[in-house]
Amino acid sequence: MYEVLDDTAAQTILVIESGDSIRRVAQHLHTPYETVRQAVNRLEDAGYVSYDDGLSVVDERVRDAARELVAASAGVSPPSIEETYVIPQFGDWPFAFTRIDAVYVWTQGGYQVGRNPDDYPLFLAVREQDVDAWEVFFESFGLPTAFERQPGDELDEPLQIVLRPRASLDIKDVEGYPVIPRAETIEYMRENYAQFQSGLAMLDRMYEDLDLDVAYRETERT
């Protein structure tokens, strides 16, 4: 089994939802289509996935083995920031990026503020009933969790996961990222207007149905 499950193949298995297309899986992994297509071909030849009106995993035990492999790989080589944005999709419970990360997602990566590679929290909205499971899950990847952002100098690694428990989730999809609704993201940005004024202006330009009345002009860059 493990000779077939390289990192890409293992990650492919973990994000497949029954009926998915290869393109959809590639979008969730933020990986080139051709790379995922080749992984799917190997997995199909090995009998681990089938492609009949969409992809499906043949045996859930294969998914368990894939998660074990990906977690072990993270233990040897800590995940990058980009990889950490994908890791929550390997879990079995719903989530949505929230707060600063919702801004990042809705601006399609165009607006990033308040973090640097040496001190980088990711903010996830999760269901209250799943909190314990998420803590165990992220621990298996060597990623610390908390309910509020922890000072970077108190952590051994630059990445941390900040869980924001909720009774229920309203999840949207933007370019393969699960995220809280746009209206809620805009409300958060308005509550922190000084920090996100230029981000609101960016959203206003990106989405024709918005009229945020933001009086801000970014300095032209050469």
Give the domain ranges of the chain.
Answer: 7-76, 81-206
Residue 220 pLDDT:
40
- For 59, 106, 120, 177, the CA distances from 109, given in Å and listed in that order, are 35, 8, 15, 11
Task: Give the pLDDT of residue 76.
Answer: 87
pLDDT tens string for the chain (222 positions)? Answer: 556 788 899 999 999 999 999 999 999 999 999 999 999 999 999 999 998 889 999 988 999 989 999 999 888 888 999 999 999 999 999 999 999 999 999 999 888 876 788 899 999 999 999 999 999 999 999 999 999 998 878 888 899 999 999 999 999 999 999 999 999 999 999 999 999 999 999 999 999 999 887 765 554 433
- The confidence score (pLDDT) of residue 221 equals 39
Q: Name 179's Cβ contacts closer than 8 Å, sequence gap at least 6.
A: 96, 97, 98, 101, 102, 105, 106, 171, 172, 173, 185
Fold of 7-76: Arc Repressor Mutant, subunit A (1.10.10)
pLDDT for the residue numbered 4: 75
Looking at residue 219, what is its pLDDT?
Answer: 46
pTM of the model: 0.90
Angle at 148 between CA 99 and CA 119, to 5 degrees: 80
> 51 - beta bridge partners?
55
